[in-house]
Structure 1
């Protein structure tokens, strides 16, 4: 950790690799120092060999032919005395040169011994350092392997999160947009308006049918009365004719006044019979026309009922779609909350998403209440007055919504508030229409 914050795994791996490279460079530098020491030893040996070769002209001792073995066998300062003793009898002509050569040879052997001891110490030290570095490298390798495993686990976890986020984004993309929801709500309102208009039309046709049936019954009663009266008139005419025929057969002459009265009464009865026949024919024609009109009205009523049933089914389907949309919105809200948990955002966005979700839930409740009112009205039931009068929950005021920073989330919040306002206006319109219908029903009764 640097500065109190954890470093990424890649940065730690790079730092460890840099340290390993530094250690490797230090090991290479120490190896170069060891090689330089070996080179110095070889130079000293070569210099000793050159000194011995320079003295070969005066001394043919075989010991001078093998200076390297002499140097390598002299392991302590005590070996300097035998060397001087060996050189003194062999070089009798130059004692000073032999002594100088012996001293130089002893100094070279002593320097070689010191260099060998220093080389041994440095080699031992470097071997210990190399062992420590190897142990550290093994520890670092284990640590790097654990970091790689941890990094692989983190990558798998991140890949799983990314797949889940992609799944959520695909699910959100498949969900209907706000415009689609608004268009579906508008179509639902139009269908409900058409259903209300058709219901009014069906009610008018039913009232017209009832009036036509009442008029038909009244005409039938009049026809029955006219038929009964006609039957009575025919019976009276027949009885009078029988009386006239009987009077003629008996030869009885009625007074002129009675005959004229009978003729007038007969003419009047015939005229009434003619009028009754004409009236009956007219009533029959009217009955036939009313029957045809009633048949047409019944056909139209059946058609209107079919259309009303189709609209009812469409309304049911729209309500089911709205219910499924509500379920998808709830699932969407849950998925969004889970997505927010997976991808934590700044505090301001979370605080602004809370009112939006609250307004969406309140708008959903208002839509459910409105659907309940419309379904009650469609079924001919009395709607719930609590829902109809618009006892609504507390939402956000306009002052709380209007802030200087206008981003997409606040725009969605304003759209949801406007949708709730439209729902309240629609509820008020339905309430006024219901009150007007109640007033009309009271006036009719």
Structure 2
């Protein structure tokens, strides 16, 4: 095995392209990457479709007051498994976890659809809450596993792990746009049972496609017990920069999270455009994320490590502040497209460091924290903002959140160790 190398570098055959400058669209020429993306595109669209259908069902049948409790129940498995997910993923392997999590969720959604068809309507709420708990047990393992998998799968003589991650993230952004639209059509035609059944089928198909993925063989030595059972605390002690970047991720998420609440409020109160204005705003974010994710995947992120991390975060929060101050719907849509694109690039930059700074067996523990912060920061920030909105107008609250996020972003270049060209660990073994 080669000795330590600088971040985002890897040995290659003679004449191989410099991995610091990834080949354009190389990730799409990798058959394994294509299989993973195809499976995830369908399951992510149907996942967002199911969420939209469930939230609409709860709102119309039991009242909007039940929706926050459903979201909270969905987050409990992520909290419960956050400190164990890394060990489980290392024990089973990230690819096996991804496959079986999708197959498990497919069976659960099909079972929930059958139960809602067979049981009295009075049991529907119980079925949906059970689905939220059990389905998110799979998601709590799937999310860090899918973020860890590119470390093993990426052919780094051609492209970097964060390029595959960005491509997978664009599947989620596509689902955010397409899923709710499909939910509206299918819900009207066949009810929530049909929405759940189609989602279950999509998960099963995704799992079957992912079973065809073949990890490259390696000659890396087995990780020692300390790494196989790594938890986040020793990882942060070994790699302090990871701790600082996790802190940056959490703080920015807390400031950015309420934007999903601000969009409908701005549509109704600032632009007075109703649901049409809301659709334009939400679609703008999704389109930006798709564009940014595809660009990050196909071209890669240029510049030094500090530029790849901090510049997209600064642009994201600046667009956020611009949106908060805007009173023009077209201008706001343009700013939200920029926000979505730079957010996708920021995610690719941060996730890329989380994938390459730690040793490979430590990556799942880090990704479990990334997943937890993403799940936990949204309800926490929205709860605080919801209380503040009772005493302040939405424009003031949004401007304060955006300004705070921008200040954090502007301070991010001062993170200790971010500017250093520290040696990173070699990739997971040389390919045979």
Asked if these proteins are the same fold (TM beyond 0.5), I'd say: no
Q: Which has the higher contact order (CA 8 A, sep 6+)?
A: 2
TM-score scaled by length of structure 2:
0.22
More helix by proportion, 1 or 2?
Answer: 1
